[in-house]
Structure 1
Amino acid sequence: MKKYAYIGCLGFIAVITTEFGVIGILPQIAEHYKTSIDKAGYLLSAFALVIALTGPFMTLLVSGFDRKKIMLTSIAIFLITGFVSSFSPPFWVLMLVRILPAFLQPVYIATALSVAVSKADDDKKNELMSIVFSGVTLAMVTTVPFATWLSSLWSWEYSFMIQTVVSFIALSVIYLMLPSMPVSKKKSYGTQLKILTKPAFILSTAANFFMITAWFSTYSYFADYLNRAKGMDETMISYMLFVFGIVGVFSTWLAGKMLNRNVTKTTAFFLSGTLVIPVLLYFSNGNLLLTIAVIAIWGFMYSPSFLNASTYMISSVPDSLEFANSLATSFGNLGVTLGTTLGGWMIVSKGVAYNPWIGFVFGSLAFVMMILRSFYEKSDRQIIAH
């Protein structure tokens, strides 16, 4: 049912507003707490690292619980995080309340996707998953730039107030509109863990990890990059986040349609952005109109990355949607952590203008993993044929 997919999407908006809402305000947070931009980046990388390390285990742990209760609990933690953060607590408290919802973020995503496709035909599943994942791009076009814009008018705490409001709306909708969904038949842990031995899944996981690392080496410092490398002020950056997101909503919808036709080609097409964008950003130099055009292309190529990465991984083990997706979320967030860490290191050592080239290197590695999986599956089919 599409209704379930849209409910999952709304919760996803709350999740992403909390996780990535700090991207537009990292320079302000660094200034407020008198710390460096790479240290402020820990608010993003620590969040992602917790997801990476605990996601699959948490998903396995709660796999037998009522799905509505899981989604409600997850969003409630996100609400508490936004509320406490909006009072500008000491940095260690801010870090602590940022980390708490990370334990349940992959659980929410895996559960929302499972609920969305629970009554769908096979040929509609990727499209319904793209509706849920469109929460990422909708957050990028609405709540994230709006929160950044408000913080540029007043102060960074307003960004967290927006996160609180969005989480409250999502919590209310899930509570009122989603029926109780107990799990009728729980899969054994052994059955779910078996996918970790499949070479195609391992290569897909590596491709996901490198892909997300590539994108986040620059995207994590979007505000800092546009400010220092392109000379934009906070208001202009909030407009650029809006452009980035608007294009992303369309590209995520398009990616959902394309994935229904061919998962590998769609993933490769959008991954090519990690190679193209650094070159375009370099040649756009200080030209404002060219830079805006490149940011639009960047938003188009980047936005379906989590959808593509998850679908590409699930396509290698179609019978293990929830656990495979939790691993996709975990390794994607491990990519966020590595990308953010390397990006912060590059800013401190060379300068933010060099960050996109980290993306070029890791994007190339992701392509190598995709090619290896393709060769493996081809040889596997030949063995079966003989």
Structure 2
Amino acid sequence: MNRNLYVLALGVFGITTTEFGVIGVLPELASSFRISIEKAGWLLSAFALIVAVFGPFMLLVLSSFKRKNLLILSLSVFVAANILSAFITNFYLLLGIRMMPAFFHPVYWSIALSVAGQTSDPAQKSRAVSIIFSGLTSATVLGVPLAAFMSDLFSWQSSFLLTAFINGIALAGVWFYLPSLQNTGISLNKFPTRIFLNKNLWNGLFLAFFTIAAMYSSYGYMADFLKNVTKMDGKQISMMLFLFGTAGIAGNKIAGKYMSRFPFQTTLLFLILLSGIHLLMGHYGSDFAPAILITGCWGLVHSGGFLISNINVTSSASETSEFINSIFTSCGNFAVTAGTLFGGVWIVHYGIENIMWSGIPGLVPALIMLLFRKNSFKVNMTEIT
């Protein structure tokens, strides 16, 4: 079972590198296409917006297809889109090509998370989910910094070809090693409308939205901040992205370990620490040495955000896990879109040197939603983890 989870995590690594790999090359893309950095940010936010809008519907429309075939199809689209992106000379055409795999992103994520939840013992669910999320963390460790390094060493086009190769490896892994998966999704005829009457679910979704939006309002422009404020060159930025992701491996494991035992305390501590990191980076980000230390701490804390948010959402309802995970994936990517756009607006008004303060307006309402949710954590967590 662990082998299957790691194969699925490899696919998550590929599709996440596609989505977030542009973070490390946004300055080069903005320069190449002669556009502003906030406009280049649409390459991230538009991708996430497609996932947010079409996530649950794609899963419902494709519910009759075999799950393994859907995983293979999804990764094939990611490979093709990345290859095409490397040969585009028009920004808007590149933006359109980037949107193609976004439709299949939530399909892969939902199936992978569902397999993790359904095939593990209840007491091990957080650990199984953390294995899937290790693909996301690994993308920040290797995928994003490698994309930035390739762009600095060769060109931004090479970063897309690298991402295509990563997805190709993931495709081969899923094709050859993953067994057939049982269909457990909801058909269009059995759309669970009652789920949207669940107050705990809405609370969990709003908590996830504000948390992830706050994370990506600053993280989405991390490379540009390090370049223009900390005055790092391309290789140094790649190393910082690598440090960020490496620290995130430990952060993801810690979050997975403690969310099953102390969900409220873990979420509360995460929000407090992330707020502190933003404040410290905003104050000391222009100083080279402190910025390195804070970047490592930032990665350690940041990486647990998606895992914590996912467990808070999926523990709120008992409906089929694939559909709940598709809702979470949509919520998370809508939050990435909102956070990235908000960060871009913040840069226009206050400058890139103040981008770290943009996360605070999201973290405050997230903390309020968590306090409203406190009573629901009294439910026996053994049933949901």
TM-score of Structure 1 vs Structure 2, range by shorter chain? over 0.9
Residue 127 and residue 377 in structure 1: after superposition, are their counterparts in 2 closer, same or farther (change >3 A)? Answer: closer
Over aligned residue pairs, what C-alpha RMSD do you find?
A: 1.9
1:121-270 → structure 2 map (5 Å cutoff): 121-183=121-183, 186=186, 190=190, 192-270=192-270
AA of the residue aligned to 1:57: F
Structure 1 residues 306-352: Cα deviation after superposition (integer angstroms, max 9, x where no partner) = 11111110011144321111111111111111111111111122101
Q: Which one-letter code corresponds to 2:330 in the other structure?
A: S
Letter in 2 for 1:177: Y
Note if contact 1:150-1:159 (Cα within 8 Å) is conserved in structure 2. yes
Contact 1:252 1:304 in 2 (8 A): yes
Distance 1:313 1:121 in 2: 19
Instruction: Measure, in 2, the Cα distance between the counterparts of 1:156 and 1:314.
Output: 37
Deviation at 1:116, TM superposition (A): 2.6
Q: 1:206-245 CA deviation, whole Å, 9 max, x = no partner?
A: 0111001101111111111111221111111100000000
Counterpart of 2:72?
72
SS of the equivalent of 1:338 reads helix
Deviations for 1:50-76, whole angstroms, at most 9, x for unmatched residues? Answer: 111111111222233211011111111
User: Which residue in 2 is equivalent to 1:384?
Assistant: none
1:184/1:100 CA distance change after superposition, 3 Å = closer
Q: Which residue is 2:383 aligned to?
A: none
Residues 284 and 290, structure 2, Cα contact 8 Å, conserved in 1: yes
Q: Shift of residue 194 of structure 1? A: 2.1
Offset of residue 94 of structure 1: 0.8
1: distance between equivalents of 2:376 and 2:127? 27
Q: CA deviation at 1:274?
A: 3.1
Aligned pairs for 1:18-97 within 5 A = 18-97=18-97
Question: Per-residue CA shift, 1:84-114, capped at 9, x if unaligned?
Answer: 0112332222111100111111110010112
Match of 1:313 in 2: 313
Partner residue in 1 for 2:5: 5
Write the distance in 2 (CA, Å) between the matches of 1:184 and 1:38.
Answer: 40
Report percent identity of matched pairs: 37
Cα pair distance change 1:28/1:185, threshold 3 Å: closer
In structure 2, the residue corresponding to 1:183 is in which secondary structure?
A: coil
C-alpha distance in 2 between matches for 1:267 and 1:173: 34
Deviation, structure 1 residue 287:
2.6
Q: Decide whether aligned partners of structure 1 residues 281 and 109 sit closer, same or farther in structure 2, where only a CA change above 3 A counts.
A: same
Partner letter of residue 322 of structure 1?
E
TM-score (norm 2): 0.94
Inter-partner Cα distance in structure 2 for 1:268 and 1:57: 32
Q: Which amino acid aligns with 1:334?
A: F
Secondary structure at the residue paired with 2:35? coil
The equivalent residue for 2:325 is 325
- For residues 377 and 239 of structure 2, the distance between their equivalents in structure 1, rounded to whole angstroms, comes to 44
Classify 1:376/1:267 alpha carbon distance in 2 versus 1 (closer, same or farther; 3 Å). Answer: closer
Letter in 2 for 1:355: I
In the alignment, which residue of structure 2 is the partner of 1:282?
282
Q: Which residue of 1 aligns with 2:364?
A: 364
**TM-score, with length taken from structure 1:** 0.94
Following superposition, the deviation at residue 376 of structure 1 comes to 6.5
Greater Cα shift, 297-306 or 368-377? 368-377
> How many residues of Structure 1 are paired with residues of Structure 2 in the alignment?
380
Deviates more, 1:109-118 or 1:69-78: 109-118
Once residues 36 and 268 of structure 2 are traced to their aligned partners in structure 1, the CA distance between those partners, rounded to angstroms, is: 36
Q: Following TM superposition, by how much is the alpha carbon of 1:375 offset from its aligned partner in structure 2, in angstroms?
A: 4.5
The answer for the alignment partner of 1:101 in structure 2 is 101
2:294 paired residue number: 294
Shift of 1:262: 2.4
SS at 1:63's partner residue?
A: coil
Check the 8 A contact 1:79/1:164 in 2, yes or no: yes
Residue 190 of structure 1: how far off its partner (Å): 4.5
Pairwise CA distance, 1:184 = 6.2
Pair 1:188–1:28, CA change in 2 (3 A): closer
Give the direction of change, closer, same or farther, for the CA distance of 1:152–1:50 in structure 2 (3 Å limit). same
Structure 1: runs of 5+ lacking an equivalent? 382-386
Corresponding residue of 2:116: 116
CA contact (8 A) 1:26 1:37 kept: yes
Compute the displacement of 1:257 (Å).
1.2
| Cα pair 2:282 2:357 within 8 Å, conserved | no
Gaps of 5+ in 2: 381-385
The one-letter code sitting in structure 1 at the alignment partner of 2:359 is: G
Tell whether the 8 Å contact from 2:186 to 2:320 is kept in structure 1 after alignment.
no
The alignment partner of 1:124 has SS state of helix
1:269-327, CA deviations, whole angstroms, 9 ceiling, x for partnerless residues?
A: 22223311122113324332211111111101111211111111001114432111111
1:48 alignment partner AA: A
Amino acid at match of 2:229: A
Is the contact between residue 117 and residue 321 of structure 2 (CA under 8 Å) also seen in structure 1?
no
Provide runs of 4+ in structure 1 moved above 4 Å: 184-191, 375-378
Query: Structure 2 CA distance, aligned partners of 1:272 and 1:62?
Result: 40
AA aligned to 1:15 is I
8 Å Cα contact 1:41/1:340 also seen in 2: yes
Deviation at 1:168, TM superposition (A): 0.5
Distance 1:173 1:285 in 2: 40
**Cα distance in 2, alignment partners of residues 186 and 77 from structure 1:** 23
Q: Distance in 1 between matches of 2:51 and 2:21?
A: 17
| Secondary structure of 2:192's aligned partner | helix
Q: Which amino acid aligns with 1:265?
A: Q
